[in-house]
């Protein structure tokens, strides 16, 4: 749709009514362009196509990967996308990520909770809707500025500027981008998963991430105590999510299947198996079992048959069954292959450290069966990136026979090593991790979950220390406001960001010359015009 075509359509509509006096076609066109997504389903359809195109681009060239950043509030997501457009000129390849961890920690009505699916299941779709509300307002704000500039160009007779602005309006790029939304383990059975997935999609999510832990005892992927479910249970939930997409007309919706098997040593169920070698049998084959004689069966023992021999799976007092130690990677690979063969589009393997070799090794095994398998990856603040990469460099140097006598591996986190050759090389590996991982480890999409949680805490700490200390108001002026002005942050005009100018535009549409507008001579926003 173009600016002129929208004006023409509105003019035809208004003219046909005969009694809509005072309704200006150009104002209608502006409002329509400022709100081009009428529902969450419109957003999901639009963003799903973007994500599918990006996946195809990555398949053709691993350098064309995408990235996301976790946002725990609509304002945070809005400012992130405004910043991206300011610095890079385009939103292409930049997504939003919405983790269950952030909802549990920051958005639950119960208050901060651990990542155990204890938060209200409706809080996740509510945050999806909130994020897109803020992104749509970012569109309205930016386009409103273009419209006001267009009016000024017309008033001054600057036809060149007028045409430039019309071209900018016609080719406007929205702040609305894909959201990858975490449905945890589905918050119940497959039916519960389906119902919640519908809420996600109706709120605008084009991509849903689901994990193979049990719903009632789900744990954060970077903590212990994780319990997985048999493949058939997990596949039922993947199908439930797909049915939700298809019911709502999002035919190209994306499903991310996450496995926590690498760090999960427990299962709640022994899988049903019909014959040797089927998926249930393979799952059970990872169980830690002891052979047992038929005459030595104890009270309440649970037994399975393996290669013609009776085996007793190790069962804990918690009624959980234990997997054999060292089987995590094999279980991850099997989980991933099975998920892709049964409707998933992307994979997620939760690792204990950011190590390209480890990740790439598993993806290579998966690609032996599924050549175009793609992994998303959690570039998580749960990792100590500095320590992990310094250890990796140290170990690589040792293996290469390089002298490491100047370094103590037990204290590599020390600031003493920041400017050393080892510290510099580790930082360079961190800097190129995304690019290297996309090329070497099959990582299409980097799910960066929680940095905005930490940046909010850090910036608040810095302000509180100064403002309530000797710096007083200078702490805010020097550390925040002056930087906002000089670095061109739109949010320095916070009334404008909150919608004051949009409101003034609407007042003029509704009341004409009688409109009482906030944007007059004495508006303090004028102090930030320079």
Where in the chain are the domains?
1-34, 35-287+323-458, 474-511
pLDDT at residue 1, rounded to an integer? 77
Can you state the percent helix, strand and coil of the chain, rounding each to 5?
50, 10, 35
Q: Write down the architecture of domain 35-287+323-458 according to CATH.
A: Alpha-Beta Barrel (3.20)
Q: How would residue 245 be classed by pLDDT, with cut points 50, 70 and 90?
A: very high
Strands (E), 400-513: 443-448
Can you tell me the mean pLDDT for 175-203? Answer: 96
Q: How many residues does the chain have?
A: 530
Q: Quick check: 284 pLDDT over 90?
A: yes
For the question of residue 220 being annotated catalytic, the response is yes
pLDDT by residue (tens digit) across 2-53?
A: 999 999 999 999 998 988 988 999 999 999 999 999 999 999 999 999 999 9
pLDDT at residue 74, rounded to an integer? 95
Can you tell me the mean pLDDT for 110-139? Answer: 91
- What is the widest separation between alpha-carbon atoms in the chain? 100
Which own/partner pairs from 501-510 qualify as long-range (CB within 8 Å, at least 24 positions apart)? 501/141, 501/144, 501/145, 501/148, 502/34, 502/137, 502/140, 502/141, 502/144, 505/30, 505/144, 505/147, 505/148, 509/24, 509/27, 509/31
Can you tell me the mean pLDDT for 149-153? Answer: 97
User: What gap in Å lies between CA 513 and CA 508, rounded to an integer?
Assistant: 7
Q: Quick check: 491 pLDDT over 80?
A: yes
Q: Quick check: 530 pLDDT over 60?
A: no
pLDDT at residue 188, rounded to an integer? 93
Q: What is the pTM of this model?
A: 0.93
pLDDT by residue (tens digit) across 344-398?
A: 999 999 898 999 999 999 999 999 999 999 999 999 888 999 999 999 999 999 9
Q: Quick check: 222 pLDDT over 70?
A: no
Q: How would residue 464 be classed by pLDDT, with cut points 50, 70 and 90?
A: very high
User: Do the Cβ atoms of 101 and 175 come closer than 8 Å?
Assistant: no
Out of 206, 220, 332, 336, the active site residue is: 220
Q: Quick check: 518 pLDDT over 80?
A: no
């Amino acid at each position: 749709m173009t600016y002129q075509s929208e004006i023409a359509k509105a003019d035809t509509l208004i003219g046909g009514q005969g009694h809509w006096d005072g309704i200006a076609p150009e104002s209608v066109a502006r409002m329509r362009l400022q709100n081009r997504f009428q529902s969450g389903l419109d957003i999901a359809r639009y963003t799903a196509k973007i994500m599918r195109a990006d996946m195809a681009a990555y398949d053709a060239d691993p350098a064309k990967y995408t990235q996301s950043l976790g946002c725990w509030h609509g304002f945070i997501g809005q400012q992130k996308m405004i910043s991206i457009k300011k610095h890079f000129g385009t939103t292409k390849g930049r997504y939003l990520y919405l983790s269950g961890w952030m909802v549990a920690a920051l958005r639950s009505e119960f208050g901060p909770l651990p990542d155990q699916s204890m938060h209200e299941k409706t809080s996740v779709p509510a945050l999806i809707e909130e994020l897109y509300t803020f992104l749509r307002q970012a569109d309205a704000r930016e386009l409103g500025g273009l419209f006001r500039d267009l009016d000024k160009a017309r008033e001054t007779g600057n036809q060149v500027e007028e045409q430039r602005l019309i071209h900018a309006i016609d080719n406007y790029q929205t702040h609305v981008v894909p959201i990858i939304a975490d449905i945890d383990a589905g918050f119940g059975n497959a039916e519960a998963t389906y119902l919640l997935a519908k809420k996600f999609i109706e709120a605008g999510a084009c991509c849903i991430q689901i994990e193979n832990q049990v719903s009632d005892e789900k744990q954060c992927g970077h903590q212990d105590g994780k319990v997985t479910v048999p493949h058939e249970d997990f596949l039922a939930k993947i199908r439930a999510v797909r049915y939700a997409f298809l019911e709502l007309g999002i035919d190209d919706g994306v499903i991310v299947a996450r496995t926590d098997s690498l760090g999960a040593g427990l299962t709640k169920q022994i899988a049903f198996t019909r014959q040797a070698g089927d998926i249930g049998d393979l799952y059970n084959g990872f169980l830690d079992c002891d052979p047992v004689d038929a005459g030595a069966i104890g009270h309440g023992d649970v037994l399975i048959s393996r290669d013609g021999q009776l085996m007793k799976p190790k069962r804990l007092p918690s009624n959980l069954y234990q997997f054999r130690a060292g089987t995590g990677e094999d279980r991850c690979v099997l989980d991933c292959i099975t998920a892709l063969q049964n409707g998933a589009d992307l994979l997620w393997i939760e690792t204990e450290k950011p190590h390209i070799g480890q990740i790439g090794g598993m993806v290579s095994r998966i690609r032996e069966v599924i050549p175009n398998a793609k992994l998303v990856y959690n570039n998580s603040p749960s990792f100590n990136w500095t320590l992990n990469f310094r250890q990796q460099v140290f170990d690589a140097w040792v293996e290469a026979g390089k002298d490491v006598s100047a370094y103590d591996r037990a204290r590599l986190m020390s600031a003493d090593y920041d400017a050393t050759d080892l510290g510099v090389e580790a930082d360079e590996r961190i800097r190129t991790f995304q690019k290297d991982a996309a090329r070497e480890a099959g990582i299409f999409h980097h799910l960066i979950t929680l940095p905005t949680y930490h940046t909010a805490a850090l910036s608040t700490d810095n302000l509180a220390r100064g403002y309530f200390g000797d710096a007083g108001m200078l702490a805010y002026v020097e550390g925040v406001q002056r930087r906002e002005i000089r670095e061109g942050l739109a949010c320095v005009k916070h009334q404008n960001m909150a919608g004051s100018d949009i409101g003034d535009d609407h007042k003029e549409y509704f009341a004409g010359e009688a409109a009482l507008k906030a944007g007059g001579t004495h508006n303090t926003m004028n102090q930030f015009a320079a």
